[in-house]
A and B are shown apart, each in its own frame.
Chain A
Amino acid sequence: MTKYRWMKTDTASIMFSCLSSKKWGRTFRMAAVFKDHDIDEAILRKAAEDIMPRYPSMHTRIRKGFFWNYQEFTEALPEIREENNRVLTPIAMREDNRPDFRIVYYKRRVAIECAHFLGDGKGASEYFNALIMRYSELCDNPDSEYILTEPTEGELSNAFAEYYIKDGEKPDEAAVKAYHIECEMKKGFMQFIFAMMKIDGLHAKAKEKGMTITEYLAAALILGTMHHAGKPINEPIIIAIPVNLRRFFPTESVRNFTVQSKIVFDSEGRTDWTFDEVCSKIAGQIKKNTAPEELQKQLNKFGGLVNNPVLKIVPNFIKQPVLRFSQKKTHDGFTTILTNTGNSDFPPEIAAKIERFDGVNGDTSGYGLVSTCSAVSCNGLFSLCFSVCGHDTSWPKECVRVLSSQGLDIRVESTHGNGGN
């Protein structure tokens, strides 16, 4: 009999998995669109088989334990199928033995849709990039051999635990209720709207304002939010920005290792803000909030929560609702989330075949957030995706109009191509 293999969830996965049920789970998606090639399922399946031993942490599924959820290793391939009209459906607790992600394709596009407890964007992109590369190699030469490098223990480690300082300083932050976008949410229905632009143009615009691309986009989301509200907003508009901690705390881990930084904007009851004024007000916030000592405090906060001796011994069925409540309270403090996973680099021979990449946030209605954004770039093209929990596209419309009014050339595509169904 094969030995039962499992591992503890990483610290962030504890939070992600507490909200998971049979009907809903926190997910994200990465997609690559090839230039001139329709995806071949048989080759895709072979590529997934070849790279499976290299990425064991992806090939796990979440299970309920008595005290904590945990991840069970599986030797089954993920679900691999053609896409249908429901993109990025929840990956929830199931009874089959497949890992908690799926590979889907449609015409020139291939995507992975992951449960967030498998890892963050950085970790999952290592797997996805490897899948794309192996797929390309097999397309060129079906007999090519896959050179397997063994995964390291470091890749499977819980980096949160490595950097947690017991009794270390925690952030001194009072709970703040953020403005929530007023759009009708429809649970169970998602649409995704992609705004594409040249990365050079976007970078130049951000640089003119002395900002990073992420800050520049956040300014557009903030002004778009105010235009959308159409009335004075009393609560702060708060954009949550996941920060890849690997930049500050080196680790090999391919699991979750991010915390949320924030950009906070107080509209002071005004409705006549200009884009320049918003930019001036928020410039530099990310740099300040991502000083290593501030990030360490966040690590200590999460570590303190999961290492709390009382919380540890509380049975899972009591712990889960408490953690779920804490997650919802946390997300009361955000207007939206803006995830920027940066540039996806490939060797030139692979990059030449790929037209673009998309990053997509999954359903956040479980947190009470109607719409969030995810961004990624590849081959000079920047893709900003608005994930909308419902039919109402009025908020992304205002945000994209802010960007286009700044002189950016933007192309828009949608999963519901003709104005939403």
Chain B
Amino acid sequence: MRCKQCNVDLAETYTLCPLCGGKPVDEEPKLGGIKVAPYSQSEPVKESGVPKAKKNFSIEKLKAIFNL
């Protein structure tokens, strides 16, 4: 597929040009041999069970906190 307005190749799965929103035409790409690498359309899932950082009270941590 190609967008004639932007003069670029698009993946065969694209029905609109990401740049201009125009409809691509079914033409051979000029830059061949690249397979589309799609992006996920899944919504983020809230993570569970993420371990919280342990509280650490030590001289070394005090040095870090008060480092100049």
Residues on A facing B (Cβ under 8 Å): 1, 3-6, 8, 33, 35, 61, 63, 65-68, 70, 72, 74, 76, 79, 82-87, 89, 95-98, 106-109, 193, 195-198, 312-313, 355-356, 381, 393, 396-397, 400-401, 404-405, 409-420
Contacts and interface: CB of A to CB of B under 8 A. Distances in A.
B18 A411 contact: no
A8 B8 contact: no
B68 to A, nearest CB: 6
Contacts of B6: 397, 400-401, 404, 412
Nearest to A36: B35
Given A70-B64, A96-B53, A419 B41 contact: no
A264 to B, nearest CB: 27
B68 A67 contact: yes
Interface string B24-35: 000001110011
A4 B53 contact: no
B26 to A, nearest CB: 15
16 contacts: A4-B61, A4-B64, A5-B60, A63-B64, A65-B64, A87-B39, A96-B52, A108-B37, A193-B19, A355-B34, A404-B6, A405-B7, A410-B31, A411-B8, A412-B18, A413-B11
Contacts of B20: 393, 397, 419
Among A66, A68, A96, A412, which residue has the most Cβ atoms of chain B within 10 A? A412
B42 A195 contact: no
Contact of B16 (A87, A356, A419): A419
Contact of A4 (B7, B39, B43, B60): B60
- Chain B interface size, under 10 / 10 to 19 / 20 to 34 / 35 or more: 35 or more
Nearest to A6: B64
Contacts, number: 159
Given A85-B44, A396-B19, A397-B19, A65 B65 contact: yes
B31 A107 contact: no
Contacts of B18: 193, 393, 412-414, 416-420
A196 B31 contact: yes
B19 A198 contact: no
Contact of B39 (A85, A198, A356): A85
Given A6-B60, A411-B10, A107 B67 contact: no
Contacts of B50: 96, 98
A68 B17 CA distance: 46
Nearest to B66: A66
Contacts of B9: 409-412
Among B7, B13, B30, B51, which residue has the most Cβ atoms of chain A within 10 A? B7
Contacts of A5: 60
B31 A409 contact: yes
A99 to B, nearest CB: 11
Given A76-B51, A355-B34, A410-B31, A85 B40 contact: yes
Given A65-B66, A95-B52, A197-B31, A400 B8 contact: yes
Given A84-B43, A411-B29, A412-B9, A381 B34 contact: yes
Contacts of B19: 193, 393, 396-397, 400-401, 412
Contacts of B8: 195, 400, 404, 410-412
B39 A95 contact: no
Given A3-B60, A86-B44, A400-B8, A409 B67 contact: no
A65 B36 contact: no
Contacts of A417: 11, 13-14, 18, 38-39
Contacts of B39: 83, 85, 87, 106, 414-417
